[in-house]
Amino acid sequence: MKHNFYRYFLCGLMVLTGINYGASQDYCDALFTDNQFTSVQKVELKYGRAVEPTGYIDSIDLYLDLYYSTDNTPEIRPMMILLHGGSFITELGNKSSMEEISRLMASKGFVVASISYRTWSFLLGGVPSVANIVDVVTKAMLDLQSAIEYVVASQGQGQFPGVDVDNLIIGGGSAGAITALHRLYIDEEDDLPDFLQAAFDQNGGLFPSHSDDYNIAYGLNLSGGILDTTWIDQGEPSLISVHGTGDSTVYYEYGLANGFIELYGSKPVDERLRHQGIESYLYTFEGGGHTDIYENIPLYREPLLQVLDTALDLVHHQFCLRTSTLPDVRVADVELRNTLVQRDLIVVNDEIKKMDFQIVDMWGRTIQGGQLGYGVQRISFGGSAAGYYAFRVYSAEDGGQSRYQQLFYYGGG
């Protein structure tokens, strides 16, 4: 579960549709791709202290690296909390592995907290048992919760910039993704297996799944997995996932993760999310492994960079559409009725003005476009490759201020 860097892709897959409709965010008035803030500051902050997992010592301090640009001046900025990989083993991963991507994210206008969390130390505790790993994964989830609460309490004070606590993004790679997925989708109503319930009981109980003080809007899953997809229920956070089909550490579909415990990978997670009506985007690397798809090698780097550019564009369209401070920006009275497309898109247009549409693939290429008529209509889709596409609608008459966007999945002809 170890990633050396998640530098090229994760920064673009941040907040797709994590929207608090009542909020107003100045940071949405500029495209994320236009932001090029250079003065990125890194501050290490202590966010907690907790029992050390092996029992060799009593307790340890928990730290996060906070990244933000001093050139970036909005009162409120988007916030992401990242967790590193490393198989939940102290000697295999730490928060420093997230520095490059965190700095890149900060240069795009984000405040990023790359957190340390409790892991098992070979040096202190020897080879862990399955029970040890279950315990330390539980502790990692609780540490993530502590970090969330620290961010909410500290933002806007001292060295911590003001952040959008109503639209938090949590995610990570490998072990960090596993931690984030379980934090996202476990709640008090779920039927947990006895061994996991016992682990929570031994660690002070389950974290709160909801709060009036913050909202987790979106999750990022880079080659992670979850114990049980039925924990994913309607109304829970949306997710974006990246996974290689050749991953033998955390399997793309289902398998024994790193030799410890069986997990459902990104494919069944994506299927469950969409079945529950939750927006989910899974980007699959055919034949890709656990770490190579994130590395700077010719086979994967260019696709990652291309997807990054498209993702940043999608982020701005979706996340900022309803939260721009520009008074004349509004959601067009348009709806794409079917997000699983066989051939035709079924569109309802209740706008009186002329509305143009575009269909864009995940590489940022415009597949087709045209004008919408009034009322219910079918648009014959001209794409050939199965996958996700963005359906975008805008009005040329008002300078594009009336807009709508929806992702859909085309199964192929």
Domain ranges of the chain: 10-320, 330-410
Rounded Cα distance, 357 and 334, in Å: 11
pLDDT for residue 281: 80
Instruction: Indicate the length of the chain as a whole number.
Output: 413
pTM, 2 dp: 0.77
How do strand 387-394 and strand 216-222 relate by DSSP bridges?
Answer: unpaired
**Residue 62: alpha-carbon gap to chain centroid:** 23
CATH architecture entry for 330-410: Sandwich (2.60)
Could you report the per-residue pLDDT of 350-401, keeping only the tens digit for each?
998 889 999 987 666 788 999 998 999 999 998 888 877 888 888 877 666 6
pLDDT for residue 26: 78
Could you report the per-residue pLDDT of 77-108, keeping only the tens digit for each?
989 999 999 999 999 999 998 887 788 778 88
Rounded Cα distance, 119 and 122, in Å: 10
What is the Cβ-side half-sphere exposure of residue 228, based on CA atoms within 13 angstroms? 10
Residue 181 pLDDT grade (very low, low, confident, very high; cuts 50, 70, 90): very high
Rounded Cα distance, 32 and 213, in Å: 26
Which numeric CATH code is attached to 10-320?
Answer: 3.40.50.1820
For range 316-341, the mean pLDDT: 67
More confident site: 119 or 354: 119
